[in-house]
Structure formats: structure tokens, C-alpha cells
Structure 1
Amino acid sequence: MTNRNYNHDDDVQVPARPKRLWWLIGLGCGAILITLTLALFFYNSISNNQLDNRNFFLNKQLEFAANEAQGYLNNLNEDLIFFANSQEVSKQREKIGPSKELDELRARKLLNNYMDLIDTLIVRKGDIEQLFSVNESNQLYVNSLKTSFIEPKHENGNFKVTSDKGDVTIIVKLNLNKYFNRLLDNYYLGSNTYKLVYMNNGFFKINEEGKMFFQDKSFKTKIIEEINGGIRGDYSGFISGAFNAKPKEFLLVQYPFKLIHLNENFAFAFAQEKTTIDSAIFENYFHLFLALFALLAIVIFFIYKYFKITSENNRFLEQKSRHLNQLLKQQTILLQQSKGFIYYQNKEDIIYQVSENVKEVLGFHPNELVKQNLGNFIIGGTEDFSETRRACIEQKKEVYSYEFNSEKKNGESIRGRIFEKLIYNEDLTFEGSVGIFTDINDKYQADQELVKSENRLRSVLNCLPDIIFIYNNEGIYLDYYVQHEELLFASPEESLGKKINEVLTGEAGEKAMRAFNKVILTGKMQTEELDLLLDIGRRYFEVRFFKLDEDRVISVGRDITGQRLWERGLSEAKEAAELANREKSSFLANMSHEIRTPLNGLLGITGLLFKTPLSTKQHELLSIIGDSGESLLNIVNDILDYSKIDAGKMELDPVAMNFASEMEKIVNVFSGMANQKSLKINLEIKKSVPRTIILDKDKLAQIFFNIIGNAVKFSKKGGQIDITISGEFIFTENLILTCTVKDNGVGISKDKIPQLIKPFTQASEASNGDYKGTGLGLAIANKLIELMGGVLHIESEIDQGSTFTFALISQASEEELTISKITSHAAENLAIENLADKHPLDILLVEDNDINLKFMVMLLSQMGYTPDVALNGVEAIKAVEKKKFDLVFMDNQMPRMNGMDATKVIRTMPNGKKMMIIGLSASVFKEDIKLAMNIGMNDYLTKPVRIQQIVERIKNCILLKEKEVK
């Protein structure tokens, strides 16, 4: 016994609950701990994801800022060079005398354009020296220098630019702090974020005085080393904005860059407090945590899903980020190594300066192109180049572009494109040009290949038998492809420029426009069949509409007139075949009914006669009558079985069985016939066949009945029949049974063997003499063998016998089946006299056939029952209204109302709800049997009905009635 503690209160024992309470407390604490743990992981995952996203955002902003700074200074350098060259003394002016004036307007314009970058601009031209500067109020000052010109050192923020001839020198002093402050001020990064500039070996805050202080010197050293090495990076460390300020943990990213003419290393850096990044997460997460805590069970599931998805997303974002960084690096390299070079030409179109990367493009050294004309590098079309360029200069256009074939130094031909900025003086006189030569050979080759591809596609389209139209998004015809214009509803000249429903009228036009509009709306292909009346007659077209691109729709139409005519003929043939099949089924059903109905009376009466006193001669004659009836019944069954197999309605019903026992039963059936002809039947089942197999037992018996029966029929007296069965396993439990039936009978010639498996055919030369039959046995066996996965193979020679070999697919079973001994219940079965005295029943017999009616009345009378009789369904309903019956034998096919309809009505009547109704019919089709059970019949017997079947149904009714009484 289990010891339990109880609290006593008014003699009622209540189990003590301390353990349950502690269990609940423990479960609650565990749940809270799990929730807190999951919440911590959840918060950490969101924080990491937010930091990664912030890191990526800051990196991108830095890259944009650094590229902008480099580009701005490069533009300044180009404008300074252009300004210096424009101030040079021309040859014409040298004759007059050197000019002592500077183009102050251009200098002011230059300084104004770069006011945020240039602090001081000193220009020397001959003896003239002028200083241009901007004060704190952004006002421009110009002063003449009287002191001698001092060459500047290349210090931080200073550099010198000299004109090509050396006549003009420009010294520039840059205000980088001011420029960097303005540049980085345009980038909004959120609160608690520092924008830093690395220069002069230190980090400086923009728009603020002072440097940034790093708590860990090695941390700062690492960052400076990577900047000097030109490596971008992101870091996490403690930084303070003032000398005595408390350091805080920052997320810092830096991007190094170089500025033209300046030897110093520069870098932009953004630093943001990590607490700022996490604060927004924490505030939102606190409310989310409360919701998660309230819905603990749901939260646990979703947190699990969240962790899984977040982990996958983080990996995905990390991969994408690495991939994006790699692409950006590659893009930077490609931009720095573009297949192009810059050249400068004077007004005589003579090149006087070329950039270094001409080596990578054309293979020439820059000096080899100086003093040459660009036209020298154009292969063919020089006149067109000269004329178009001259026309642009005459029209005072600012830019000129031209594509041409050129040749590299090694003789390789390439496709090039030039883009020139044409330069004019104040009098609009052409002074020269600055151009970019770009190698576009790859793009040109791709374009040429695309043109070839389009030409090939057009050639293919022109050879297609289909009719192809191209429309815009309003349904207006734009183009077409067709081989035979007689297939068109209207000529192309009349269709182009019109809408679909303007060319196709009526129902065809409505269907085409409906399909077209669906394509525009959904973007999915639509198919319509159009019936058109053309000049050459009525034609059917299958037309597919689908998107060609964003602005065009294409339709492909195919003439399917022949296919429609073929389908119409096929449909008519199908309807004729279905009608013939229905007539065949109706004929078989009628034939079955007409033959089985008299057979029912014949065999039934014969069975009753066997129970009467008979002389030996009478018993012999009655046996002949019974055998004849059974033979006729077998013929009908063969015809119906073959019809069902031929119609594909035969189904397999595999069951586990003792194979050896079943084969012995089949062979024993032929023992009587074998004894009459002194035949010896040998059955050998190999050890490879398992004891229990799964197979359709009835179909197996039917196959062997037909084949062994054929062998017995055609064997000679005193002959021998050998039956051999072996097995072979394939794929574990699957089993192939190989069966052989060999006889030493009359045999047939080889040319007549194929006729053996044809229905209603007998190939034996003696078929009209001693060996009679329907000719369906082997045909049915062959069909059943094929249904069970095998093939029947026949070998035979005249007077040498025949060998039938076939295989059946089955399965081995581990189930052990016991063979029950057959006990004789003849005494019990035959003890039916005066059965009504012990078990009285009210029986209604519904039958319209006189013979069957007499047989059933006689049989029931022998049992002591006096049944009520109804000749059709109407009379049966009237009988049930007047009296409550225990058992009804209901024939199916009767005049006025058949048994099916009568059963439906009876089951709705008060007296007909609990009675047992047994259907009697000559129909053996499963559809009829299934229908009878569905409408309310308890059982269904097919004619001819055996006496024992009637006795069993009566006993079942008696047992059912006894249970209801109990």
C-alpha cells in the first residue's frame, strides 16, 4: 500500500497538497527562468543584428564621403591645370609682347567654386604675382605680391600646379578642416555619434575643437596602422571626447583615402556609442517582454521559431554582406582600372598630352602619341570622322563623340569610342579639346552578336508555320510573321496600326480581347481557340497570348483545323464505342437473367428431387439433368467472366492462404474425371515456395481449373498430368510463382497455338468430336494471368502433349494458417424438416417466375413454412402494409415495380424497418450487388440459388430474431 497523508475534517479525508504546491511553484519558477533565458537570448540576437546593420550603414556612408572628397579634389586639380594652361602666353601674343595681366575673372570664378576647400591661391605669370584668398565671411580678396615668389614646400594642405609651358605657376593652400567639416556635416548619423577625420597622425572631431582620446593605446595604434596601410575597418573600443572625460564604448568604422598632390594619409571615421544603439532596442523590447511573459506557452514556440529564422537570416545577411563588400572592392578596382585614357589636343587637333593608362588600352607609350593626330588611329571612316567633328566645331557644340575601329600597337583590332570636351575662347574660337578614349570592344562584339542572334531568330520565325503578331499594351498591331497570308483574317497592311477588336469582329474578337486584357492584367499566358470564317473556308486557330516585354505583347496562333476534325471523328467513334459497350452490358445482363432464371428453377427442383425416394434409374437420370444444368451455368459464367475481364472490371482480392492446401483442393476436384480416364495427376511444389502466400485465391483456382481441366479433357486414357510450381523471391517479400502444367495428350500444331487463347475458339482438330466446350477457358485463364502480372506460354506438338507455363506475382506472408479439417454437416444441413415448429417465421416471397416461385414454395414448405406470395414490387408493398414479416425473399427484375424500388419504399414503412430482406437476382455484376446493399437489402443471392444458401439465410434470420428477443 502507498502511504498518503490526509487532513481530517468532518470524517472526510482530503489528500494533503504540499508536494503538489511545491511542484507548481517549481514549475512556475522553471517557466520564469526559461522565459528570462529566452528573453536574454532574444535581446542579444536583436542587439547583434542591430549592430551589424549599423556597422554596414556607417561603412557605406564613409565610403560615399571618402569618394566625394577624392572626386572634389581631383576636380580642383583639373580646373587648376586648365586655368594655368588658359593663362599661358600664346605665340601671337609673344610677337606683340607678353601680357602683364591675369585673367582675374577666371581666378575669382575658380576660387568661388572651391570656396570651402581653397584657403589661399597664389598665381604667378611672368613678373605678375597675385594672391587670392577668402576671409571668414566668405569675401574674396585679391592682392598683388611685391615680394619675390617663394616656392612652397609640399606640406599638409599645400601644393603647386604649373602650366604645360611653365609660364604660369599656381600655389594652392587648402583649408582641409573647413572642407571636411562641410562635407561630413551633410551626413546625418543619429544621436551620440562623432564624425572624425584622421590627419596629422590624429583623430579630430568635425565642427569641434580637440582630438579623440583612446583608452587603449594599442587599439589606436592598430587603427592608425590599418589606415596607413590603406585598409578599411570597423572596431569596438572605449573612447572619450575630452582629456578628462570618462571613456565610453563606441562602435568605430574608418575608411582611408588619398588626396591628389598630398602625401599624407587621410581617413574618415564615424563613432557611435553602443548604448545609443541598444537603448531603442531595450525600450521596445521591455514591452515585448511583458507580452511574452503573459503568453508564455505561445512565446516559447515563437521564440524557438524566431531563433531559427534569425540565425538563418544572420547567416544570410553575413553572406550577403561579405558578397556585397567583395563586389564593392571589385567595383573600385574596375573603376580605377577602366579601359580608357585621357588625351589633350590643341586647335590643330594635334595631341600634346596623354595619360599613362594608354599603355593598357592601345599598348603605346604616351610619348608615342604626342604630336600625332587622333585620326591616325582610326581604321576606315576617317573622312566621316573629320567631317562630323568639323561640323560640331562650326556649330560651336561643347561635346563630340564618335565610335570607330582602331588598332593596338601589336596589330590587334579593337572598337573604340571617344568623348571630347571642345574648348573655345571668349571669342568662341576653337582652342583645342580634352577627350577620353574608351575601349568598348567587348560591348561592341556583344552588340554585334545580339544583332546576329536577332537575325537568326527572325529567320527561325519566318520558317515557323505559326502566325505571330506583336502588339503594344493597348492591343494595336505592331508587327507580324506569317508564311501564308491566306490564313489571315485581314491583310497585314489593313491590320497594322489597328486594335485587335477592330480587325477581328464578333465573338472571335471578344475572345481575343478578353485574353489580351488578362495578359496585361496578370502577366500570365492566356490561350483561346478562335473560330474564323476565311476566304479559304472555316478555320480553327489555337492562339496563345503572352508578354514579350514590358511594352509589348505577342500572340502565336496555330491552325488546328485538322486536329479539330480528327477530334470530332474520335469523339463520334468514342460515343459509338460507349453505346456499343452499353448495349453489350445490357445484352449480357438480360442474357444472364433470362438463362439464370430458368436455371434457378431447374437446379432448385433437381435439388429437391434428390431428397425424395428415387430408384437407381431415376437417380441416374436426375444426375444427368443436374450435370447438364451445371454445365450450362459454367458456360454462362465463362461468358460473363470474360466480358468483365475484357471490360477491365475484374479486380484482384489478395488474401493470405496455405498454398499447398489450396492446390491440393484444386487437384482433388479433378479426381473423378481423372479416374474415369485412368489419368494420373502429379502435383510437385518446390521448397522455394513458402507455406503461406498472399494471392487472390478465387482467381488462382479459376486459372488452374481452366488449364488443368483443359489438360484432363485432351489427355489420352492412361495418361499423366504433371503440375510443377516453384518460387523466386525478388525485392524482399515479393514472390514470383512459376507454374507448369504438362500433359501427354493429343496436342496441337504450332501454327494453331495462338488460337488457344482467343475467345470462342477451339484449336483442336477434334473439337467437333470428343472435346466440346465454349472455347473460353484458356482465354479467361490468359486474361487472369495477365491481370496477376504474368504471361501464358504454350508449347505443344501433335500426339506429343502440351505444356502450359506461366508466372504469377504474389507476396510471401509470415502469418501461420491452420488447415481446418472438413467435417460433414450433411445431417445438420439436411435436417430442415419441421424447422418452422421450433422457429416460426413470417416469410414473404416476392417472385414473378412460376418455376422459381414453385421451387421456393416447395423448399419452404419442406421446412414447415407457409410463405405469403407477391408477384411484383407493388404487391410486396401492399403485403408489408397489412402484415409485419420477419424475412423477405425479394426478386430484382419484376414487372410493374422491380425489387430495388420496392425495397426503398419498404424501408420507409413502419413494418419494413427491421425485417431482413434477401435479394434474389440473376445479375452477378458487382455494381448491382453494391447498389442492392446500399438501398437497404441485408443480403444478396445470385441465381441459380442453392438450397443450402436459402437454409443458411433462414438460420441467420432466426439467430437475429432470438437476439432481439433477449
Structure 2
Amino acid sequence: MTNEYEQCMTENARLQLLLDQETQEKEQAQQDLKNKSNFVAFLSHEIRNPANGIVAMSQLLGETELTEEQQSYLEIIQASNDSLMELINGILDISRLEAGKMTVTTNPFDLINTIEDLIYMLAPQAFEKEVEIILDIESEIPLFVVGDSLKLRQIFLNLIQNSIKFTHTGQIVFELKRVPSLQNDRINVCFAVRDTGIGMSEDQVSKIFDVYAQVHEASEHNYGGTGLGLAITKNLIELLDGKIEVLSEKGKGTSVEINLSFERYTDIPSIPFEDDVLTDMRFLLLEQHPLSRHVIASMLEGWGAIVECAEEATEALTHRTRQGEFDVVLADLKTVDEDEEFYTLSEIKGVNVFLLARLGEKVEDEKRSRFRSIITKPIRKLHLLNAILAMDKNVQE
């Protein structure tokens, strides 16, 4: 019995020794990681100082008189500067996250306006590729929430830029929906970025959050990038106690969903109008893009409007508009660009025609004057509603 007891004590001592060794090794590994992150952060910061000088001097040089050959060299330098600063900033963010030095700040901010402003900044890059950008935002989101707006902006800057980079046809849709919360003082929101880009295989999806991973290296397109953006994005989401899910199919596109929780600030709605504000108003929507057509029609119907959709302005629709069957016509510029018959509608009293034009799309003054208003795409929900409500009272009735 004594021997068994002694053996048991010896085994316990051995296990305790192993546990202590493992604890020490873990603490040492954590310290090594912290030291490495601190060193990388320090080094990146020191590199950024002379890099900023190069950027500033390059900009000043661009303002001097240069030959065509010198200008081409300068453009290469400036492109290299941009790539270098992107890499440095990415390394700084990663090292700060790994060292636990990235902090969260909380302030009241307008969630919808923050997202819409960001998308407006990036939309022209997509439109240049003939890729549609569509906003699909629920009205249930309150006007203000409390959270870290700068980190939220950085998260979606990375995701939307990625979608634009890897999407060459079709559309990119940004969805924003409120989801139920068990806590009365919290606002839970689901963000989604869905594109019809080149997509990824399951193996590629499993690697996209790895630091320096570039899953589309072997491609006919030179996508570039540092491979840090998505790693930083995932870390920022986790820092905000959020969750991210990525679904993708090669050749068919990618869907990224992010769930984040914000502190409640106010119950004032982001759309300060009743759901039936457009009840019985009749709309004709002329829009070639099917998903954009569906989203715009859903907005109008959500306010009680009656909506008829078409891909083009046919003679029959033009005739019905002349006869007063529609209170408002919403027409996409690309749908009616060369349709002179359609443009004469604006000269008829009582016909309210709004032009939908992509951000940055040029509308000549003569053409612009024919419409009651120009509504910019991607369409902001409140902008669309305000433009309609700004019509004469007799038109609303």
C-alpha cells in the first residue's frame, strides 16, 4: 500500500513538473510573440518616416515641369510609394493587434451614413469596370448607435475594395439588416457584402485570413496586394466581439457576412417617415439591371407605392405615361440614353420624371434640365424618398 502511495505521489510530482514546464514555455512563447510584434511595430514606424518623405517629395516633383519620359518614371515611383505605404500600414496594424495594443473607442455615430459615405467613395472604381453597386439597407436601423466607427470603416473598406478588385462583371451588393437582440441596450446588425466575382474554392477560402496569403496569385489578372487586408479585417472584427462568415464558389462570386453588436444610443429611426408615406402613388421604374430593379421597387413598395417595372421605355409605356397612368417615372440613364421619345415626356405638364445616374456619370446640362431631379446611384434610401416628397403637393395627392 505504501509503495502504491509513493508511486502515486511520484507520478503527481512528475505531472506537476510537466505542467509547470508547459506553463513556462507558453509564457515564454507569448513573450517572444509580444517582443516580435513590438520590434516589427517599431521597425515599421521607423521605415514609415523616410517613406513619408519620399511620398511628399514625389508629389512636389510632380508639380514641376517634367519631360514625358520623366513623368512616366515619376508615375512608377508614386505607384511604388502607394504599395510600400499600404504594406507598412498593414504590418503596423497586424503587429499592434498581435501585441494587444489595438484599443476600441466608443462614440455615438450614424451607422447608415458611415456605410453609405464609404460606398460612395469606392463606387466609381466599380462603375469604371461596368460593375453595378447596390445598397440594400433596412429602415429598422436607428439613426445613431455607439461603437468604433473608424474600425468599422476600416473593416468594410478592405472588404469592398476586395470585392471590386475581384469582380469584373455583374454586381456588388451591400446589405445591412437589424437582427434580434436578447439585450435591450444592444443593437445587433448583420452586414453582408455579396459579389459576382471570380469566387474561391474551399481550399482558398480556408486560407484567406492567413497573414500574407494571396489566394489568387496564379491568375490572368495581376491583382497585387500585400495579403494583409483580410487578416487585419478578421482581427478587427474579433476585437469588436463580432463574427465573420465567408461563402464562395469558384467562378460564381463570394458572400461575406459579419455580425456586430452596438450599444443602443437612441430609438430615433434612420428613415423619419411612416411606412405608408407613398400610399397609392403610381411609379414606373425603367431599369435594365434586374437586382437593382428589384431593390428599388422593394423600397418604393415598402412605403406603400404601386410600382410597375420594365427594362426599357416601350411605346406602350410612353403612351400610358402621357395618359397620366403614372405619378412618377424613375428611369436609369443607360436604359433611356438614346430614347428621344422618352425625353419628350419631361415636357408634358404633370409628368414627373426622375433620372437615375451612376455616381460620376456625366449628364449634359441640356439633358439634365429635362428631368425633375437626378438621383445618384448607388441609391441612398433617404435621398430617394426626399426627392419624391419634394414634388408639388398636388402631385403627391
TM-score (norm 1): 0.26
1:708 counterpart residue number: 160
Closer, same or farther: CA 612–775 of 1 in aligned 2, 3 Å: same
For 2:13, give the aligned amino acid: I
Closer, same or farther: CA 587–794 of 1 in aligned 2, 3 Å: closer
SS at match of 2:87: helix
The superposition leaves residues 108-165 of structure 1 with CA deviations (integer Å, 9 ceiling, x where unpaired) of xxxxxxxxxxxxxxxxxxxxxxxxxxxxxxxxxxxxxxxxxxxxxxxxxxxxxxxxxx
The superposition leaves residues 793-841 of structure 1 with CA deviations (integer Å, 9 ceiling, x where unpaired) of 11111211111111111123229899xxxxxxxxxxxxxxxxxxxxxxx
Which one of 21, 25, 31 corresponds to residue 568 of structure 1?
Answer: 21
Closer, same or farther: CA 646–587 of 1 in aligned 2, 3 Å: closer
Closer, same or farther: CA 658–610 of 1 in aligned 2, 3 Å: farther
1:784 counterpart residue number: 236
Counterpart CA distance in 2 for 1:680 and 1:777 is 23
1:665 counterpart residue number: 117
2:98 counterpart residue number: 646
- Contact 2:204–2:215 (CA under 8 A) maintained in structure 1: yes
The superposition leaves residues 852-889 of structure 1 with CA deviations (integer Å, 9 ceiling, x where unpaired) of xxxxxxxxxxxxxxxxxxxxxxxxxxxxxxxxxxxxxx
1:795 and 2:247 correspond: yes
Which one of 260, 266, 274 corresponds to residue 808 of structure 1?
Answer: 260
Counterpart CA distance in 2 for 1:572 and 1:789 is 28
The superposition leaves residues 388-443 of structure 1 with CA deviations (integer Å, 9 ceiling, x where unpaired) of xxxxxxxxxxxxxxxxxxxxxxxxxxxxxxxxxxxxxxxxxxxxxxxxxxxxxxxx
- Contact 1:658–1:817 (CA under 8 A) maintained in structure 2: no
1:339 counterpart residue number: none
Counterpart CA distance in 2 for 1:697 and 1:755 is 28
- How many residues are treated as equivalent by the alignment? 269
For 2:121, give the aligned amino acid: V
Which one of 80, 85, 89 corresponds to residue 628 of structure 1?
Answer: 80
SS at match of 2:223: coil
Cα offset for 1:726?
A: 0.8
Cα offset for 1:621?
A: 4.9
Counterpart CA distance in 2 for 1:590 and 1:770 is 29
For 1:726, give the aligned amino acid: K
Question: What CA RMSD, in Å, does the superposition of the two structures yield over aligned residues?
Answer: 3.1
Counterpart CA distance in 1 for 2:87 and 2:102 is 18
SS at match of 1:703: helix
SS at match of 1:762: coil
Cα offset for 1:758?
A: 1.8
2:192 counterpart residue number: 740
Closer, same or farther: CA 614–588 of 1 in aligned 2, 3 Å: same
Counterpart CA distance in 1 for 2:12 and 2:172 is 65
Which one of 150, 158, 175 corresponds to residue 724 of structure 1?
Answer: 175
Which one of 145, 157, 162 corresponds to residue 693 of structure 1?
Answer: 145
Closer, same or farther: CA 611–646 of 1 in aligned 2, 3 Å: same
- Contact 2:133–2:171 (CA under 8 A) maintained in structure 1: yes
Cα offset for 1:633?
A: 0.8
Which one of 679, 686, 691 corresponds to residue 131 of structure 2?
Answer: 679
Counterpart CA distance in 1 for 2:148 and 2:246 is 23
1:515 counterpart residue number: none
Counterpart CA distance in 1 for 2:254 and 2:5 is 67
- Contact 2:40–2:92 (CA under 8 A) maintained in structure 1: no
Which one of 222, 226, 229 corresponds to residue 774 of structure 1?
Answer: 226
Structure number with higher strand proportion: 1
Mapping for residues 514-913 of structure 1, pairs under 5 Å = 560-593=13-46, 595-613=47-65, 621-716=73-168, 718-730=169-181, 731-764=183-216, 766=218, 769-814=221-266
For 2:172, give the aligned amino acid: I
Counterpart CA distance in 1 for 2:174 and 2:264 is 21
Cα offset for 1:738?
A: 0.5
Counterpart CA distance in 1 for 2:91 and 2:205 is 21
- Contact 2:140–2:269 (CA under 8 A) maintained in structure 1: no
Counterpart CA distance in 1 for 2:269 and 2:106 is 15
Cα offset for 1:709?
A: 0.9
Cα offset for 1:776?
A: 1.8
Cα offset for 1:673?
A: 2.3
Mapping for residues 330-349 of structure 1, pairs under 5 Å = none
The superposition leaves residues 590-648 of structure 1 with CA deviations (integer Å, 9 ceiling, x where unpaired) of 2441x313312211212322444557775665444333212211111112212222333
Counterpart CA distance in 1 for 2:209 and 2:122 is 22
Higher-Rg structure is 1
- Contact 2:145–2:264 (CA under 8 A) maintained in structure 1: yes
1:229 counterpart residue number: none
Cα offset for 1:678?
A: 2.3
Counterpart CA distance in 1 for 2:155 and 2:109 is 16
Counterpart CA distance in 2 for 1:616 and 1:690 is 53
Mapping for residues 381-400 of structure 1, pairs under 5 Å = none
For 1:673, give the aligned amino acid: Q
- Contact 1:728–1:737 (CA under 8 A) maintained in structure 2: yes
Counterpart CA distance in 1 for 2:177 and 2:19 is 50
- Contact 1:793–1:806 (CA under 8 A) maintained in structure 2: yes
Counterpart CA distance in 2 for 1:728 and 1:577 is 37
Closer, same or farther: CA 751–569 of 1 in aligned 2, 3 Å: closer
- Contact 1:603–1:626 (CA under 8 A) maintained in structure 2: yes
Closer, same or farther: CA 616–814 of 1 in aligned 2, 3 Å: farther
- Contact 2:192–2:257 (CA under 8 A) maintained in structure 1: yes
Cα offset for 1:757?
A: 1.7
For 2:148, give the aligned amino acid: D
- Contact 1:737–1:809 (CA under 8 A) maintained in structure 2: yes
For 1:708, give the aligned amino acid: I
- Contact 1:743–1:801 (CA under 8 A) maintained in structure 2: yes
TM-score (norm 2): 0.60
For 1:608, give the aligned amino acid: L
Mapping for residues 914-925 of structure 1, pairs under 5 Å = none
SS at match of 2:243: coil
Counterpart CA distance in 1 for 2:254 and 2:12 is 58
- Contact 1:540–1:564 (CA under 8 A) maintained in structure 2: no
SS at match of 1:755: coil
Counterpart CA distance in 1 for 2:69 and 2:119 is 30
1:483 counterpart residue number: 2
Larger RCO: 1 or 2 (CA < 8 Å, sep 6+) = 2
Counterpart CA distance in 2 for 1:795 and 1:666 is 23
2:365 counterpart residue number: none
Counterpart CA distance in 1 for 2:101 and 2:220 is 32
